[in-house]
Structures are given as C-alpha cells and as structure tokens.
Amino acid sequence: MDFAEQAVAARVASIELATLNRDAKDAALHAMADALAAAEPALLAENAVDVRGARDAGTDESIVDRLVLTPQRVAGMVQGLRDLAALPDPIGDAVRGWRLGNGARVTQIRVPFGVVGIIYEARPNVTADAAGICLKSGNAALLRGSSSALHTNRVTVEALRAGLSSVGITPDAVQLVEGGREITGEMMRARGLVDVLIPRGGAGLISAVVEGSTVPVIETGTGNCHIYVDAAADIDQAIGILLNAKVQRPSVCNAAETLLVHRDIADAFLPRALDALSQAGVTVHGDGATRVFSDAVVPATDTEFDAEYLSLDLAARVVDSLDEALTHIRSHTTGHSETIVTRNRETADRFVAGVDAAAVLVNASSRFVDGGEFGFGAEIGISTQKLHARGPMGLPEMTSTKYVIEGDGQVRV
Amino acid sequence: MDFAEQAVAARVASIELATLNRDAKDAALHAMADALAAAEPALLAENAVDVRGARDAGTDESIVDRLVLTPQRVAGMVQGLRDLAALPDPIGDAVRGWRLGNGARVTQIRVPFGVVGIIYEARPNVTADAAGICLKSGNAALLRGSSSALHTNRVTVEALRAGLSSVGITPDAVQLVEGGREITGEMMRARGLVDVLIPRGGAGLISAVVEGSTVPVIETGTGNCHIYVDAAADIDQAIGILLNAKVQRPSVCNAAETLLVHRDIADAFLPRALDALSQAGVTVHGDGATRVFSDAVVPATDTEFDAEYLSLDLAARVVDSLDEALTHIRSHTTGHSETIVTRNRETADRFVAGVDAAAVLVNASSRFVDGGEFGFGAEIGISTQKLHARGPMGLPEMTSTKYVIEGDGQVRV
C-alpha cells in the first residue's frame, strides 16, 4: 500500500474505533500485549539486525543505546499496554452540558481525533506506546518510525496488529508507514487524511514537522528550563532543587539547563551551589559574575543560554532583579518549565504571572512536569505549544469534542 | 512600523495584558466603546470613501453591503464591546488542580495565548469585535482586515487605541496591520511572534491561511450542513426544521445546504417538503429520485453536493439507508453541523456516533450552532477543526493554560 492508501485504511478503521466501548478497547490492549510478549524472540532478533546496521553506519553509541531492545525493555512495552487498559476511557465523557431556553439539550462530549500520525526517532518503545495510547483514545495510528529501527518496528507492529485481529478489531487501526524521506513529506501534507501529527524526538525533527506540515501539529517538548534563585530563596532548598533538576536525569526535556541567581544572594548561594554541582560532575558555563566564584566555571556565551544541553552541563548567570530574570527567560525560554526558588510570596506570584510556559514551578523541581508524576498514567509527550494542549498530555489530550444537540423540533426564531 | 516591529510591540503589550484584572479590562472595553461611539461621524465619512472605492472597482453589491456602515451598525459595534465587559473573565480560572503525593500543589490555570492575529474580509464590525474579544481574553490583537475597508478600519482602530490609552493601557494591545499582500504572508510565517492565527471569511481565505501558515491556525467555519430525514421522522417536524435551517438566514455557515431523505419516507415527505421549499423561494438541485416529485427540481451533480451555497439553493438526494446517508455525509461534510430528524432513538444514536462534525443535531435546527444561541455572549467564529476548539468559540476558547506547581522544596526521587 502507498501512503494515501494507508491513510484511507486508517480513516475507515477510525470509524470502527470511534464506536468501540471501553471493554472492547481494554481487551484489545491486553491482546496486543500478549502478542507482543509472544513475539519477544523475533523482536530481539530483528532488533539485533537494526543495531548491527546502526553500528555499521557509524551511529553514535548514545543513539544506538536508545535503539537497543532487551528482555527488560520488551517487558516494559508489554506492561505499558496493560497499564493503558487500567486507565479510564476518555471517549464519551461529557465535558459540559446545558439546556437552551427552548428546552433543547446541548452536550459537549469527547470524541477521538480520528487518524493520528506519529513521527518519531530511534526509540522502538514509542511504537508500542503510541499505538496503545491511540487505541485507548479511539484513534487510528499511522506510525512513522526511524529507518534505523525498521526491522524492530515491523515485528512490533505485526504483533500489535495480530493482537487486534485476535479480538476482531481491524488491524488497520495500527499501521507502520514505510518508505523514503518523501513519505514523511506526504504525511505532513495529508490534510484531511490525517487529523493530527505529533512529532516525538529532537528539536530538529520537531521544527521540520512544525514548519512543513499543513496537518495540525502538536509540538512536543524541547526544554531549555530555567531555575531562578531569588534573593529571598531558602539556600538549602535552592541547592536541593537545582541538583535534582539538573542531575537526576539530565537527558530529558524537564531537566534544568540554565541557572539565574539574584545578585543579593550570589555570595551566599553560588559558592555552595557551584561546589555541589562540581561534585555531581556538572560543567557550569557562567557569565563573568558567576566565574568569580570558581575557576571551574567556563565562560558562557549567548549560544550557551539557548542550549538544551541534555547533559551534565548548565549555563549560569547573575541577575540584578526579578525583572532581569524574567526578561532573560522571555528571550531564551522554549516554553516548557520554569522554576523560581523564593520564600517571598509576592515575588513568586510575579514570577508565575510573568513567565509564559507550559509549567511554572515555585520551590519544586521541574522534574515533576511529567505525565507519570502528574498521575496521567500514560503520556504521548509534553506539549510546548499553546493550542489544544500545553504541558504533559494524557489520554484526554488525545481527543477532540463534539456538540450533540437534542430537541423535539426546535427551530430558531 | 513594519510588521515585525508591530509584532514585537504586540508581544510587549501582551505581557501587560496578561496581568490585568477583570475590572481593568472591563473599564478598557467601556472606554473603547465610548471612543468608538464618539468617532461615529469620522467612521461614517471614511466608510463612505471605502464604499465608493469598492463600487468604483466594480465590487459585487452583496460584498459592498457587508462593507457599508450605518449608524445602526456602529451602535452594534459599540454595544458589542459593552456586552463583552459584562461577560466573566476567563483568565485565571482554575481548570483543575490536585496535590502530588509529596504534597506539592498542581493547578492548571487559564492564561492568554499572547498575540493573536486575525485575518479577515470586508466586514468592518469584525475589527471592533475581534479587538474586544482579544482584549477581554488578555490577548494582544494584530488585525489584518481587507484593503477594501482600510479607511474604515483605520478610524476604528484609532478610536479603540485612544480608548485604551485613556485608561492607561498600552494602545499596542490593538494594532491594524497594513501593507500589501506580502504582509499577510509575513504574518502567516511569524511563528514565535504570533501565537495563533484566526482567519475569518470565505473558504478561499481560510484555506490559504491554513495551507500557508507556520503559525498555529484555528480554522473557522465553512459549512456544508446536511439534514437527513430518516424513515422514522415526524414529517411536520422535518419540514419545520428543514425550512428553518435553509431559509431563516441562508448566508451563514450553519444554514442547511444538503437534504438527504430515506427512500421509505420519500413519497410522504418530499412532495410536501418540495412544495414548502418552492414557496419559500428555494431552488432544489436534486438527484433523479428527487426530481420525480417535482418539475421545479433541477438536476444535481457531485459539485452540487459539495457546495456551500449560502443562498436559497439546496442539494437533495434520496438514500436507501442510514448507512448510505452516513457515507454521503462523510464524503461531503465540512465538519460543521449535521442534523438527523427521526423518532427512532437507536437510529439517532447511530447517527450521532457515526458523524464526525463540530455539532450533531437530533430533531433541531442547525441554526442553533452559534455562540450567541449557546449563551457564550461573544463569538470569534465557529471552529471546524478538531484541535483546541471545535464548534462555537467563546472567550475560554481564546485562552491557553499553564500548570502552576507550588511546593516547599520537593525533589523527584
């Protein structure tokens, strides 16, 4: 099938999916999990082919690491599908409802988008995760994975489709989109065939999809997350939050990338903070005012303040005021998660009001900005756009709504 | 100022707007209304220049009619601003909130988008409406009206800005975007400067904006709205709803454009319906099975079934079943409002589930799908897209959200 045929098959499948009740979808998720678990030997064998190919192509080991499947990672994918079955079904939820003056009843209900396209990079677990989230939210999934994971993705999708068939649901609810680069372009221009595109991956992938698509896009998470340590900060708290946000898992989008320190607390805070960061293996890229506190701080440029390091690196700058911190954040934010540490209520409120981001944190680590931590149970990504969904996206964010108006002959006068 | 400078000024204004409380915004709306009312003589004089220009350019009288301002229409614009002041402020509303296991509090609150671009056609009332809706929802407005209304729009925006200044709010909250066609292109590619674009106008304008924008777009309403008269319909009810939906105001997007009739009720329904439509001055474009009932029915082609007439024309077709009606609607719908007339509960449910549109009506006129009828008080348009907002958009649909997480030093373990 070419892409247009796949998209039409997905549309037809989406009509069936939209009417499935929760029990049917949960049974399908367990069947998909069973089939995936049974396919483990094939999955590991085909994954080894992908991994060998990637290494032969000279791929960076950190990317190869994302590509590798182990029995433990397969078990994680299987469990992810079963966990989805345990979550409430968002479809059919009444968002709100009222009666018109003439007695007709209006109800706004959650409905699936229809056909969702996911464009993603090497991580093979995204294939099962995205397929499961789409299925539970009643959406047909068109999965466009990386060519470097093609063998792995083929076995995964084959298993998921077999699981669907085994419970009498059309396998076209989950399809792998294969083919050269031009197919990604076709997918991005498939307005009317694809309802929503969600890119998952690095900043380059996301901006290419955002710029090139005529299909509506949900932009997910690059995070140049700032921590502003205010003059009225509790220093112990600030050091704890800074270290956690930077070091606990540096490779993720909700990790801290830039530290801003109020000049009035710099003398008391920075020597201790820089020492703790250094002990944790963090390289600090600082402005002049930061560098006076430690020879280990390397010079920062404006490039540094725009960096999403995703590594044990941190940009740092001393600011004269909350306003200077807000101005800095406005110039460099990716709109993900911004943190203030302060005991001053008014300063906290001004920071919360003045920062334009998916999440603003007061005296807590930005690592909490996560679907799992929020209790959403499943997450397709963290939206950094303002339209439709902002922040961690759970199942309700994978839906649209429909107004149902029921009357007995009402006409407009 | 060139467009980029205007956009930066709008961004700066948006920071101020985001922190205004309701009282300040309502005072601004009344000041804008006062200034607009005071500008009536200038408004009518400059509008006469636009109208003369349009007539000289040979513009169709129906479009000239939309362009013309009268004292009554100016009064409507002024009252529209005052009505907005009476509506609740969506900004700051807590959408939901909970505590994490570690005690940190999460609150999702409504915030403005920031900078909203409106691209619209000749109706000068859109200038004041859109400016007011943006102001009340805390958004800075970049208004790109038609060049045919330029003189009118200049006076309108000047008055609105004077109103803002008079209460100490930056006038850059409302700006008119002038210049040639290339400026529309700049606006559509101003990702990062403009947060959302909303096109208001005909299908051509909307699809040009949707296809050409890298800025997120909210697509508003073209409506090829269907009425399906089921075998189990109450015939009197069906005729009443059909006439109301087609005739009460044919030029709007929620008017009926296509009639589908179940074969089993055609003999009883169509002669009466065609007679009533004919008496109301409606030209019916029917398939062969419809034409046997009246010589006045002209032949329909597939083009007809895709038409958004916005006039006293109606496409009509006889279908063999609910499924055939659903298949027809799926092929031709613009996703606006679709209606079934039936006394059969199960058929109604299948229709509601099977139709993918912003609104589905059971035994009621599609003319109710409207922000005013829904009680929203103000409407920027009717969204026919699935992302962010679907159906009539009120003030809450003109906002985004932000998660605020407040703790006392919580870190992730």
Supply the pLDDT for residue A56.
96
From A241, A360, A401, residue closest to B390, measured CB to CB:
A401
DSSP string, A267-334: HHHHHHHHHHHHHTTPEEEE-HHHHTT-TTPEE--HHHHT----SSEEEEEEESSHHHHHHHHHHH--
Answer yes or no: are the C-beta atoms of B400 and B388 closer than 8 Å: no
Predicted confidence (pLDDT) per residue in A233-244, tens digit: 999 999 999 999
Supply the pLDDT for residue B148.
93
List of chain B residues whose C-beta atoms are within 8 Å of the C-beta of residue A243 = 411
Supply the pLDDT for residue A220.
84
- The CA distance from A120 to B352, in Å, is 34
Residue A410 DSSP symbol: E
Among B residues 338-357, those touching chain A with beta carbons less than 8 Å apart: 348, 352-354, 356-357
pLDDT category at A89 given cuts 50, 70, 90 is very high
Question: What is the largest distance, in Å, between two alpha-carbon atoms of chain B?
Answer: 80
Tell me which CATH homologous superfamily contains domain A225-368: Aldehyde Dehydrogenase; Chain A, domain 2 (3.40.309.10)
Supply the pLDDT for residue A6.
97
Supply the pLDDT for residue B122.
78
Closest Cα in chain A, distance from residue B121 (Å): 22
Question: How big is chain A by its Cα radius of gyration, in Å?
Answer: 24
Cross-chain residue pair A387–B390, CB shorter than 8 Å? no
Predicted confidence (pLDDT) per residue in A186-208, tens digit: 999 999 899 999 998 888 888 89
List of chain B residues whose C-beta atoms are within 8 Å of the C-beta of residue A354 = 15, 19
- The CA distance from B116 to B123, in Å, is 19
Q: For residue A302, is pLDDT > 80?
A: no
Residue in chain B lying closest to A99 (CA): B374
List of chain A residues whose C-beta atoms are within 8 Å of the C-beta of residue B217 = 216
Joined tokens for residue B218: 């909210």
Supply the pLDDT for residue B22.
97
Predicted confidence (pLDDT) per residue in A38-76, tens digit: 999 999 999 999 999 999 999 988 889 889 999 999 999
List of chain B residues whose C-beta atoms are within 8 Å of the C-beta of residue A244 = 411-412
Q: List alpha helices for B280-370, DSSP H.
A: 288-291, 302-305, 322-332, 345-354
A75 near B CB under 8 A:
no
Closest CA to B198 of B225, B221, B171: B221
Supply the pLDDT for residue A207.
87
Among A residues 183-242, those touching chain B with beta carbons less than 8 Å apart: 191, 195-196, 210-211, 214, 216-218, 234, 236-237, 240-241
Supply the pLDDT for residue A246.
97
List of chain B residues whose C-beta atoms are within 8 Å of the C-beta of residue A111 = 356
Closest CA to A96 of B325, B376, B347, B292: B376
Predicted confidence (pLDDT) per residue in B195-246, tens digit: 999 998 888 888 899 888 999 999 887 899 999 999 999 999 999 999 999 9
List of chain A residues whose C-beta atoms are within 8 Å of the C-beta of residue B358 = 402-403
**Total number of residues shown for chain A:** 413
Q: What percent of chain A has pLDDT over 70?
A: 100
- The CA distance from B290 to B60, in Å, is 33
Q: Does the CA dihedral B294-B297-B302-B307 come out positive or negative?
A: negative
Supply the pLDDT for residue A123.
86
Average pLDDT over residues A74-94: 96
Closest CA to A143 of A157, A123, A160: A157
Probe site for chain B from A246, A342, A411 (most B CB atoms < 10 A): A411
Closest Cα in chain A, distance from residue B291 (Å): 27
B412 near A CB under 8 A:
yes
A114 near B CB under 8 A:
yes
Cross-chain residue pair B387–A412, CB shorter than 8 Å? no
Among B residues 27-46, those touching chain A with beta carbons less than 8 Å apart: none
Q: For residue A391, is pLDDT > 90?
A: yes
B94 near A CB under 8 A:
no
CA A160, chain centre distance (Å): 22
Cross-chain residue pair B100–A218, CB shorter than 8 Å? no
Cross-chain residue pair A386–B100, CB shorter than 8 Å? no
Closest Cα in chain A, distance from residue B232 (Å): 13
- The CA distance from A314 to A304, in Å, is 8
Q: For residue A136, is pLDDT > 80?
A: yes
Joined tokens for residue A96: 């709100």
pLDDT in tens, chain B (413 residues): 899 999 999 999 999 999 999 999 999 999 999 999 999 999 999 999 999 999 999 998 888 988 999 999 999 999 999 999 999 999 999 999 999 999 999 999 999 999 999 999 878 999 999 999 999 999 999 999 999 999 999 999 999 999 999 999 999 999 999 988 899 999 999 998 999 999 988 888 888 998 889 999 998 878 999 999 999 999 999 999 999 999 999 988 999 999 999 999 999 999 999 999 999 999 999 999 999 999 999 999 878 999 999 999 999 999 999 999 999 999 999 999 999 999 999 999 999 999 999 999 999 999 999 999 998 987 788 999 999 999 999 999 999 999 999 999 999 99
Cross-chain residue pair A403–B358, CB shorter than 8 Å? yes
From B353, B406, B410, residue closest to A365, measured CB to CB:
B410
From B234, B365, B407, residue closest to A364, measured CB to CB:
B407
Q: How many CB pairs below 8 Å do chains A and B form together?
A: 204
Cross-chain residue pair B241–A214, CB shorter than 8 Å? no
Which top CATH class is B3-219+380-406? Answer: alpha beta
Predicted confidence (pLDDT) per residue in A93-107, tens digit: 999 999 999 999 999
Q: What percent of chain A has pLDDT over 90?
A: 88
List of chain B residues whose C-beta atoms are within 8 Å of the C-beta of residue A240 = 409, 411
- The CA distance from A363 to A372, in Å, is 20
Closest Cα in chain B, distance from residue A125 (Å): 23
Supply the pLDDT for residue A378.
77
- The CA distance from B385 to B218, in Å, is 7
Q: For residue A122, is pLDDT > 90?
A: no
Residue in chain B lying closest to A406 (CA): B362
Q: For residue A180, is pLDDT > 90?
A: no
Joined tokens for residue B339: 């209606």
Number of Cβ within a 10 Å radius of residue A55? 12
Domain boundaries, chain A: 3-220+380-406, 225-368
- The CA distance from B152 to A248, in Å, is 59
From B354, B363, B400, residue closest to A408, measured CB to CB:
B363
- The CA distance from A221 to A211, in Å, is 16
Probe site for chain B from A405, A408, A413 (most B CB atoms < 10 A): A405
Amino acid at B17: L
Q: For residue A87, is pLDDT > 80?
A: yes
From B236, B364, B412, residue closest to A368, measured CB to CB:
B412
Cross-chain residue pair A403–B360, CB shorter than 8 Å? yes
The CA–CA distances, whole Å, from A52 to A45, A156, A355, B210, B362 equal 11, 18, 46, 43, 59
Closest Cα in chain B, distance from residue A227 (Å): 13
Supply the pLDDT for residue B248.
95
Supply the pLDDT for residue A206.
87
Q: Which ipTM score applies to this complex? A: 0.93
Going by C-beta distance under 8 Å and a sequence separation of 6 or more, which residues neighbour residue B161?
A: B171, B174
- The third-level CATH classification (topology) of the domain covering A3-220+380-406 is Aldehyde Dehydrogenase; Chain A, domain 1 (3.40.605)
Among B residues 247-286, those touching chain A with beta carbons less than 8 Å apart: 248
What burial class does residue B36 get, using C-beta atoms within 10 Å of its C-beta: 0-12 exposed, 13-18 middle, 19+ buried? buried
Probe site for chain B from A369, A387, A413 (most B CB atoms < 10 A): A387
From A100, A248, A330, residue closest to B368, measured CB to CB:
A100
Supply the pLDDT for residue B402.
97
